[in-house]
Amino acid sequence: MPLEPTSATPQRRHGSNAGQPLTRRDGVLKVTGRATYAADNHPEGMLYAVTAVSSVARGRVTALDVAAAKAHPGVVEVLTPSNRPPLAQDPDQKMGPFGFRVEVLQNDRVRYVNQPIALVVAETLEAATQGAALLNPQYEVEPARTGLQDGERFTPKAVGVGGPPSSAHGDLKAGFDAAARIVEAEYTTPSQYHNAMEPHAVVAQWDDEYLTLDMPNQALVMSCAAYAAYFGVPAENVLIRSPFLGGGFGSKAIINGPQLLAILAARMLRRPVKLVLSRAQMYGPVGHRGRTWQSLRLGLDGEGRLTALHHRALSATSSFDEFLEPAANASLPLYASPAILVEHEGLRLDIGTPGPMRAPGEASGSAALEVAIDEAAATCGMDPLAFRLNNYAETDPADGRPFSSKALRECYSKGAERFGWAGRPLAPRLMRDENGLLVGWGMGTAVFPCPHFPAQARATLRADGTALVETAGVDMGQGAWTALAQIAAEALALDPDKVELRSGVSSLPDGGVAGGSGHTASAGLALHNAGEDAIAKLADLAITNPASPLFGAGNVGVVARSGRLHRLDDEARSESYTDILARSGGAEVVGTGIMARDEATVAAYAMYSHGAVFAEVKIDPDLGQVRVTRLVGAFAAGRIINPRLVRSQYLGGMIWGISFALLEEAIADRRTGRIMNADLAEYHVPVNADAPSLEAILVPEDDPYVNPLGVKGVGEIGVTGTVGAIANAVWHATGVRVRRFPIRVEDLLARDDAD
């Protein structure tokens, strides 16, 4: 697998430490086992908590054998609805933009399988586990609503995180009336679970009214406020330490019931409590990507141009809360159409509430849209790339705003060239390899928005010429520690080796949310501004001091380079940071910064990362086994801070796309609502053999508008485009158009050899 950069290593830039493919700062710690994750913490006197979870999807718990559990040696306490201590915040109320209704033993109702119905706390994990087993719950069972046939439909107020449930522009009816051809099809995507390698874990310690939490967390400061509200203490009393996350993918940005219960137990028992969910217990209370049923209708004129685009999505949620996969919104920013309508409907099922999971909506919506576009191209007898170029959006299709930058054409051309797209036969089932396997080529367009989150940072220039930069950011494995340090080092004009980054602790300046692929831009901008502020303060010390070679340079200004300040008009006149600080009594200089953008610019431009993904599949004609043999993605996401880490993000996203297209699906028993494959043996994710050849091309793009750093998001875009590209390659190989994800062997077996 060619994981090494395909382009030459970038030149070391003078005056800039960003743009270099530095290796991860935390890499050695991780590969030598010295990185401590939340569950590695064992404070003195710690107890172990295990949740007892419901095995039915809907009904009431009528009995729990608490006496049997309590009689088990080592069991300290059993929390049930009858003795659960009160919370200061109603768990049935949603708090803030990422707030969800949480299941914390409010009552005896059961609303989904794996809902916590009790918490057993014991001196050992074994005793707690056995205690939970001894509870032997009895239920009054009601029929589980598990699918389209019995779910309750509703019109949502919002989709995703506060997004509009429908958007329209242009005259849809006129668009379809004018169409020479109409392509219409329905697509489904399954329940998917984040399945981070590291399970959700917490070690909770109370010291009087102060709470310390060791837990993997994607939104440190925001979570502190939420926990403070639930426990009725000031937010500054809550400390979250989250130095490392073994994956989050959206599921660790949200408060969940089991962790709240463990914190409650720690307060109740006045001892530290640890809770680690089992793999199976992660299928319910900690979110998932909800199922979608999507329909797309495309109007096309005689020249293969869209006249109308109508995308509808029915998105599953729980019976008691809403998070609707905003799948149809994927059709808003990509293809030029004079009329676009996107609409969502909700479906209530007896499941845990879905949540944001890597590219929520963008991934599932792109999967359907990119297949529909392929179908439209085929209907028009056009090459799928030519069709996409024919419908290229020069401005935001939804509102006509210009793009802040959009190097999608270059992505198409560079990706197609590298893949060898030219010469692809239009018709399916025409290519075979030397072993007789069917070969197919498909493509998809990738797109992802550029959300920014409020963030703050602090930069301290130290007397020894090094710097400390701080923000409560989150390294989920994406390399944030490294990229954020590079940004700060650039602003401070120091080598990254001289910059210490402190992050991952909530007592630091708010680093915002590691989500929406916006962490590097948001926390990075705060760090950049903090660094610039520190340099400005350092410059003030020099230019106001007659003993400095920079004295009086206030009017012409100074520039920072490699640990020295230089006069702008005479660079030979300079002074080192250490000399300036020494003359000032060795004091440190502290700068602060926040994520700040010109709001008028933000409003004036449509901002997206773009990409093009090309896939080759080989398929056994008799058995329907599919292998993705090649994936080439070309992505443009503004300025690249660290090409090594960015390439990893793209490759990871593309592998996730393989997973979505061919493997991932949580299957619920229609009779009981129980997930039948709630483990990593049966919930399939790709292994190395599933991803033989991957290549990500970093297409240069300069974005002067998105933010002062020119940085866009790279984390989630790789999933989009890839799913459709693989599905389209499967069609090209076999002639079978599969509109249900994941694509299964049985979808390809049924084919009659006659076209």
Partner 1 sequence: MIRRARIALGGVAAKPWRARDAEAALEGGPVSPETFARAADMALAAAKPSGDNGFKIELARRIIVRALQLASDGTPPAMPALPASVFSTAPMGGDHAA
599, 574, 555: which is closest to 706 by C-alpha?
599
CA distance 515 to 358: 9
Residue 689 CB, nearest approach to partner 1 (Å): 6
Strand extents, DSSP E, 8-163: 47-53, 59-63, 75-79, 109-110, 116-122, 138-141, 152-154
Can you tell me which of 750, 752, 754, 755 binds partner 1, judged by CB under 8 A? 750
Q: Taking the CA of residue 332 as centre, how many other CA atoms within 13 Å lie in the half-sphere pointing to its CB? A: 25
Per rule CB under 8 A, is residue 437 in the interface with partner 1? yes
Per rule CB under 8 A, is residue 753 in the interface with partner 1? no
Contact segment (CB under 8 A) with partner 1 among 351-359, 574-582, 653-661, 743-751 equals: 743-751
520, 482, 697, 476: which is closest to 23 by C-alpha?
482
Q: Which helix (H) or strand (E) holds 448?
A: strand 438-449
Residue whose CB is less far from partner 1, 406 or 739: 739
Residue 435 CB, nearest approach to partner 1 (Å): 5
Size of the site for partner 1 (CB under 8 A): 16
CA distance 328 to 370: 12
Residue whose CB is less far from partner 1, 547 or 689: 689
Residue whose CB is less far from partner 1, 622 or 753: 622
Q: Is 716 a catalytic residue?
A: yes
CA distances from 170 to 177, 344, 604 (A): 13, 18, 20
Q: Taking the CA of residue 663 as centre, how many other CA atoms within 13 Å lie in the half-sphere pointing to its CB? A: 18
How many separate helices (H) and strands (E) can be counted in the chain? 16, 28
Question: Which residues between 32 and 71 bind partner 1 (CB under 8 A)?
Answer: none
Residue 696 CB, nearest approach to partner 1 (Å): 22
CA distance 709 to 488: 11
CA distance 750 to 755: 12
Residue 440 CB, nearest approach to partner 1 (Å): 15
217, 98, 199: which is closest to 503 by C-alpha?
217
Output the DSSP codes for 156-209.
-S-BTTTB-SEEEES-HHHHHHT-SEEEEEEEEE-BB----SSPPEEEEEEETT
| Residue among 303, 375, 716, 746 flagged as catalytic | 716
Can you tell me which of 4, 746, 752, 755 binds partner 1, judged by CB under 8 A? 746
Question: Which residues between 682 and 741 bind partner 1 (CB under 8 A)?
Answer: 689, 692
Question: Which residues between 540 and 559 bind partner 1 (CB under 8 A)?
Answer: none
Binding to partner 1 by CB under 8 A, coded x per residue (else -) over 388-427, reads ----------------------------------------
User: Which residue do the tokens 């530095």 mark?
Assistant: 22
Residue whose CB is less far from partner 1, 208 or 622: 622
Contacts of 60 (CB under 8 A, 6+ apart): 108, 109, 110, 139, 140
CA distance 54 to 675: 12
Residue 742 CB, nearest approach to partner 1 (Å): 14
Residue whose CB is less far from partner 1, 173 or 432: 432
Binding to partner 1 by CB under 8 A, coded x per residue (else -) over 661-690, reads ----------------------------x-
CA distance 395 to 713: 20
Residue whose CB is less far from partner 1, 498 or 751: 751
CA distance 662 to 744: 7
Per rule CB under 8 A, is residue 111 in the interface with partner 1? no
Question: Which residues between 611 and 640 bind partner 1 (CB under 8 A)?
Answer: 618, 620, 622-625, 627
Residue 697 CB, nearest approach to partner 1 (Å): 25
Length of the chain measured in residues: 755
Per rule CB under 8 A, is residue 431 in the interface with partner 1? no
Residue 628 CB, nearest approach to partner 1 (Å): 12
Per rule CB under 8 A, is residue 749 in the interface with partner 1? yes
Residue whose CB is less far from partner 1, 409 or 744: 744
Residue whose CB is less far from partner 1, 464 or 682: 682
Per rule CB under 8 A, is residue 435 in the interface with partner 1? yes
Q: Taking the CA of residue 130 as centre, how many other CA atoms within 13 Å lie in the half-sphere pointing to its CB? A: 14
Residue 622 CB, nearest approach to partner 1 (Å): 5
Residue 623 CB, nearest approach to partner 1 (Å): 6
Residue whose CB is less far from partner 1, 28 or 623: 623
Contact segment (CB under 8 A) with partner 1 among 141-149, 388-396, 434-442, 550-558 equals: 434-442
DSSP state of 112: S
Binding site for partner 1 (CB under 8 A): 435-437, 618, 620, 622-625, 627, 689, 692, 745-746, 749-750
Hey, which residues are catalytic here? 716
